[in-house]
Structure 1
């Protein structure tokens, strides 16, 4: 058992695996840039789905799209495996509550990147999906169950908390703690600015999503729970919504560029 554990840790620490995992940040960056572009189009009166499925669908239809989708798939899966390995090997110096918190964060990120990777893989194989319809359908299923409403409410609160954490991380520049070797001067300032704007914008978008989930749960209306695309379109329909959506769209694009840069400087 110890030999297998040592082999797994050695593989997780290998340079090749690290490079593959860093590619996952590039994939996430590309995804956020495209979502931001779609959201900006929505703010200008256009159409489209400003979520994972809509963005990946656009990438699939672009020149060289299939190759790009496979690159993103492999990167996201490698990054998910990296966070999975961190649950076991990356918390040895920690103890107590700090250790449990670190494991929970790594586990959450492993799930997030595994889901994103699976979506990339689905489209790379010629399939498709609709995030908005899936979110609404899942919400309807949960609302029909006794414990489902409580679970959905907890998810809404959880999304709100994550959104708040993103805003906090951006406003306080806490995200810089995860970076190593970031140059000083203009480059460092630019990366910090991208991260600040990007984290706050993503946090705001997640906050709107969390509110919609809670509203859908309280009113027993699953059609209001339509994922990120529904959240951004709901934002557009508010007073000054087009301006707010435009700002969030630019922020998501900034976050995407930051994620690409993060692939180089992330502590791993």
Structure 2
């Protein structure tokens, strides 16, 4: 069995830097998602909300001057974020403990680490010339289609949808309760910027919660209609918003919120207290 005690003693030398780089990379991704979604909402530059997932952002970065270098830097940042989350999960440097609540929180960290690890892998594949996964919404629909074919498949897909909605509601709760500021050293932020930064974080978490909620709703719709094509990710959520009454304004508002979330990730990278002792 691997002894992690000696390994954990080296945490102060790299965990904080990994966390900062990872949060900054996440900020870049969400800022670009917000910008591209806003452009799609008001048909600026021919943007389409149908490709506004993280893979679409990676393709956008790759298409820019020095795109391979830029995307490589983002991918490295996402690897750092994934490693930080996995460190939180397995080494418990956040001291969540081993009770039910602590284990649950550490599982969330681990899941987040795996998700961003796969995102980093996909972005590296693009840098190396492979387009990777052209549509994560399509992969979700394939997964939902397979689940629907299983016994109680509709119930399982519906349960997944409810869990996703729960994640969205928790994001909104974090925003309204102020918990999103729990580990941020707000006292170190310049007074003239503090109110704006705090507000941007609140708006960002609410917007992210709305997107999660819409994704969960689409999963439930897929379950009720036994139709996997109804399920999807962020780009499907954006399409849903765009088709609603005043859809352009709704999508534009959510896009600005996601941009605010990205900005707040930069704030976290600069001012968050990163625990480095396990």
Q: Same-fold call, TM > 0.5?
A: yes
For the pair 1:261 / 2:267, whether they are aligned, the reply is yes
Partner of 1:112: 115
Query: After the TM superposition, which of the residue ranges 173-182 and 31-40 deviates more from structure 2?
Result: 173-182
Map 1:2-151 onto structure 2 (within 5 A): 4-14=3-13, 16-45=14-43, 46-48=46-48, 49-87=51-89, 88-90=91-93, 92=95, 94-128=97-131, 129=133, 130-146=135-151, 148-151=153-156
CA-to-partner distance for each residue in 1:52-108, whole Å, 9 max, x for gaps? 111111011111221222222222222222222222332557352332233223223
Runs (4+) off by over 3 Å: 91-95, 147-151
Deviations 1:160-199 (A, max 9, x none): 0111111111122211002135425122222101101111
CA contact (8 A) 1:59 1:69 kept: yes
For structure 2, which runs of at least 5 residues remain unmatched after alignment? none
Report the CA distance shift for 1:178/1:92 in structure 2 as closer, same or farther (over 3 A). closer
For 1:193, what is the secondary structure of its paired residue? helix
Equivalenced residues, count:
266
Q: Distance in 1 between matches of 2:269 and 2:261?
A: 12
Q: Judge which range, 157-166 or 97-106, deviates more.
A: 97-106
- C-alpha contact (below 8 Å) 1:9/1:85 kept by paired residues: no
What is the match of residue 225 of structure 2? 219
- The two structures, once aligned, show a CA RMSD in angstroms of 2.0
Map of 1:191-230 to 2, 5 A cutoff? 191-230=197-236
Go from structure 1 to structure 2 and tell me whether the alpha carbon gap of 1:162 and 1:242 turns closer, same or farther (over 3 Å shift): same
How far apart, in 1, do the equivalents of 2:31 and 2:96 lie?
A: 36
The whole-number CA distance in structure 1 between the counterparts of 2:79 and 2:109 is 14
Aligned 8 A contact 2:96 2:103 in 1: no
Bigger drift between 183-192 and 94-103 goes to 94-103
Partner of 2:9, secondary structure, is helix
| Partner Cα separation in structure 1 for residue 206 and residue 77 of structure 2 | 25
Are the aligned partners of 2:33 and 2:53 in contact in 1 as well (CA < 8 Å)?
A: yes
Change (3 A) 1:198 1:159: same
| Gapped regions of structure 1 (runs ≥ 5) | none
> TM-score, with normalisation over the residues of structure 2?
0.88
Q: Deviations over 1:199-239 (max 9, x none)?
A: 11111111111101110121111111121101111111011
The residue that corresponds to 2:244 in the other structure is 238
